[in-house]
Amino acid sequence: MNIIVCMKVVPDTESKIYVKDGVVVEEGLKFLINPFDEWGIEEALRIKEKLGGKITLLTVGTEKDVEVVKNGLAYGVDDAILLSDPAFKGSDTLGTARILASACKRIEYDLIICGREGADYDTGHTGIALAYVLGIPYVSSCVKVETDGEMLRATRQIDGGHEVHEVALPALFTTSVGLNEPRYPSVKGIMLAKKRSVPVWGKDIVEGAVGHEAAKYEYVEFTQPEEKKKSCKYISGTPEEEIVQLMLLLEQEAKVI
């Protein structure tokens, strides 16, 4: 059972992110594995523990992402490949999917795992576009998956419930919140990963149009949202007094009840 996990390197969205002169300031930002992809790595490890095989990480990025890619290797993943080339710059989500697809075609796989979305741009296009470009089916926003190496049975989130899908491999699924609780990498894993080199594949492997020219959209403006200044009205007293006051405020001031 060979698995490809696509992993994006994203800034820690818990950290301070701000815009200066119309661009997002990257300096000082901490970069990490996209949380949705961390669930992907964990699920791949669990499947491998059961069925054996090989796990390959694919990251579209730049040389500066190598350190974070090695954090991915530290979990006990077999291989990682960085897909990087100046020609990839300005690729949109479909372009990124084409780059990933070109790499996937050079690797043996039964299953591809992607995060539902990147925690940076939250688009949620690349994984699904990758499945389409490769001509394989996908199940999105999965919270539970089972596979015997032939079939994939996946429980996915739908609005107001769940749906169970079954599909023959090769297939792709995207992860969602609740899929698993990722382990911590072992000290040994971290040490080993540090020594690994991450091969870089560039534009010569890529089929289809990628990069800025091929992009169907371009981000042209970045601003910081105006923070709605709220001053919290604190209510104090005994619980009974607090509730009387709260109800009064909700009814007469906020007029929401």
Question: Residue 249: CA atoms inside 13 Å, Cβ hemisphere, count?
Answer: 10
Of the candidates 116, 114, 126, 124, the residue with the CA atom closest to the CA atom of residue 88: 126
Residues 50-69, interacting with other proteins (CB under 8 A): none
Q: Are 32 and 235 in contact (CB under 8 A)?
A: no
d(CA 197, CA 184): 21
Site string for other proteins, 1-40 (x = CB under 8 A): ----------x-xx--xxx----x----------xx----
Binding other proteins (rule: CB under 8 A), the pick from 20, 164, 191, 212 is: 164
Geometric angle at alpha carbon 36, from 89 and 75, rounded to 5°: 95
Give the residue with the Cβ less far from other proteins, 65 or 73.
65
Stretch that binds other proteins, among 71-79, 112-120, 191-199, 200-208 (CB under 8 A): 112-120
Q: Are 39 and 243 in contact (CB under 8 A)?
A: no
CA distances from 173 to 47, 60, 154 (A): 13, 18, 8
Shortest approach of other proteins to residue 239 CB, angstroms? Answer: 5
- The residues pairing with 55 across neighbouring beta strands, listed in sequence order, are 3
Question: Residue 116: CA atoms inside 13 Å, Cβ hemisphere, count?
Answer: 15
Give the residue with the Cβ less far from other proteins, 57 or 94.
94
Give the residue with the Cβ less far from other proteins, 137 or 202.
137
d(CA 88, CA 99): 8
CA distances from 21 to 18, 25, 220, 224 (A): 10, 9, 12, 11
Shortest approach of other proteins to residue 232 CB, angstroms? Answer: 4
Residues 197-236, interacting with other proteins (CB under 8 A): 215-225, 228, 230, 232-236
Site string for other proteins, 133-152 (x = CB under 8 A): x--xxxxxx-x---------
Stretch that binds other proteins, among 47-55, 65-73, 176-184, 189-197 (CB under 8 A): 176-184
Binding other proteins (rule: CB under 8 A), the pick from 56, 59, 93, 102 is: 93
Stretch that binds other proteins, among 46-54, 60-68, 82-90, 166-174 (CB under 8 A): 166-174
Give the residue with the Cβ less far from other proteins, 21 or 204.
21
- Number of shown-chain residues binding other proteins (CB under 8 A): 82
248 sits near other proteins (criterion: CB under 8 A): no
- Tokens 């690797």 map to which residue? 107
